[in-house]
Structure 1
Amino acid sequence: MDNLIQTLAISAIPILFAITLHEAAHGYVARHFGDPTAWQLGRISLNPLRHIDPVGTILVPAMILLFSGGGLMFGWAKPVPVNFGRLRRPKQDMLWVAAAGPAANLFMALFWALLLKIVVGMPDLDYSLALAEMARVGISVNGVLMILNLLPLPPLDGGRIMVSLLPIKAAMKFAQLERYGMIILLALLFTHVLDMLLRPPLVLYMALIKTLFGF
């Protein structure tokens, strides 16, 4: 029981910020390209409380993290509302709005990696071990969310990027997958196909992080 509480306590902060700042980034970039919807609703915020979905941000990630032994993380925040029709160039700007979430996860991963590098080089203190483990969770969680969201499946960010890049007729047909996207994603998750898809890019991601920071 103590180990369970410790795992949740160490993982809570990096998971919470990985999910919620991902969503805030979408709103910020949408505002930059002409859609103030998220800003008008108060959703462009670094306050995680504005983005928390009790089920997707807390319950589901905690259960999956525990039952997978820490090897898998999946969850979601309240989607930031984006009205693509209000973007200055809807089809082209959709790419940047969609890419903002994974980009936020990449920057957070680099932050946690830098923190881990600093903590490892510090003298041992009472909180050093917990902080190092929190940083490791941050690196892992942000890598998973970045790569997961780049899968070319609507409504994931990778799916929206594909819609932006495809010719208009192909984009319209591809976008129709969005109504089935979550069902497909859950099927991939529970049949472990998702794990097989994510594992190779995750291995490469971790190798790059280790090389860049000299771990």
Structure 2
Amino acid sequence: MFANELSTTQFIAIAIVPTLFGIVVHEVAHGWMANRLGDPTAAMLGRLTLNPIKHIDPVGTILVPLILIFTVGFAFGWAKPVPIDWRNLRHPRRDSAWVAAAGPGANFLMAIGWGMIGKLATLLPAGGENIALPLVYMSMFGMFINILLMVFNLIPLPPTDGGRIATSLLPPPLGRALSRVEPFGIAILLVLLLTGVLWRVITPFISAILQLIQRLLGG
């Protein structure tokens, strides 16, 4: 993304904040919703904070995004999962779907927020290009990375959020059958990603949501 317009250093500069906040707020949203629905585990462990140090996974938050930036000009990653004791939820089956949906929902709201920042950046007075242009690039990437995180996590294949939502909403026999895929879910997603199948599936959804947000913001 922006490969023909920005150097690697410039790309890292505009990508690091949206990527970091996208994955951190995603996890905090899970913990916040779980706390609201009866499980204080994340709150007691100090994970309901936007301090990235509390959520950094050395591989998923630092190593993988940097490798992707330097190899394919793209950033993607994950934070340490927020601990949740599903047994504490008041209505475990129903509430687990809400907890899972909170992460992608937070990414959707952040995508809208970045879009608003981009709109405001274009309204800066003449002479503010040194601030406006980086903000525009950052907002564009912020919208993209949050929509990507939202769509990827809604894939109905455990252990993604979409997989947990599906196992919660499906009739119990089907939900249990789907949950048995979880040990192989990451491997399946990795194969789909490396073969390009995953991108072909999710790209139309990413484009549609991006266009929706742009229309909502009058763009």
Where on the TM-score scale, by shorter chain, does this alignment land: which range? Answer: over 0.9
* Structure 2, unpaired ranges of 5+: 1-5
Query: Match for residue 212 of structure 2?
Result: 208
Deviations along 1:61-101, whole A, 9 cap, x unmatched?
A: 2322443334xx43111000111111111111011000000
Question: Does the Cα contact within 8 Å between 1:21 and 1:48 map onto a contact in 2?
Answer: no
Query: Match for residue 165 of structure 2?
Result: 161
Alignment of 1:1-20 (within 5 A): 3-20=7-24
Given residue 68 of structure 1, which amino acid in structure 2 is its aligned partner?
V
Measure the CA separation in 2 of the matches of 1:45 and 1:12.
18
Measure the CA separation in 2 of the matches of 1:192 and 1:68.
14
Query: Match for residue 101 of structure 2?
Result: 99
* Structure 1, unpaired ranges of 5+: none
Question: Does the Cα contact within 8 Å between 1:56 and 1:77 map onto a contact in 2?
Answer: yes
Question: Does the Cα contact within 8 Å between 1:163 and 1:172 map onto a contact in 2?
Answer: yes
Identity %: 47
Please state how far the C-alpha of 1:122 moved relative to its aligned partner: 1.5
Alignment of 1:1-215 (within 5 A): 3-70=7-74, 73-123=75-125, 124-125=127-128, 126-215=130-219
Measure the CA separation in 1 of the matches of 2:96 and 2:121.
38
Question: Does the Cα contact within 8 Å between 1:153 and 1:177 map onto a contact in 2?
Answer: yes
Please state how far the C-alpha of 1:48 moved relative to its aligned partner: 1.6
Measure the CA separation in 2 of the matches of 1:135 and 1:55.
25
Please state how far the C-alpha of 1:59 moved relative to its aligned partner: 1.7
Change (3 A) 1:8 1:49: same
Query: Match for residue 3 of structure 2?
Result: none
Question: Does the Cα contact within 8 Å between 2:15 and 2:141 map onto a contact in 1?
Answer: yes
Given residue 101 of structure 1, which amino acid in structure 2 is its aligned partner?
G
Deviates more, 1:43-52 or 1:142-151: 43-52
SS at match of 1:88: coil
Given residue 179 of structure 2, which amino acid in structure 1 is its aligned partner?
A
Please state how far the C-alpha of 1:165 moved relative to its aligned partner: 0.3
Given residue 195 of structure 2, which amino acid in structure 1 is its aligned partner?
T
Question: Does the Cα contact within 8 Å between 1:25 and 1:104 map onto a contact in 2?
Answer: yes
Given residue 157 of structure 1, which amino acid in structure 2 is its aligned partner?
D
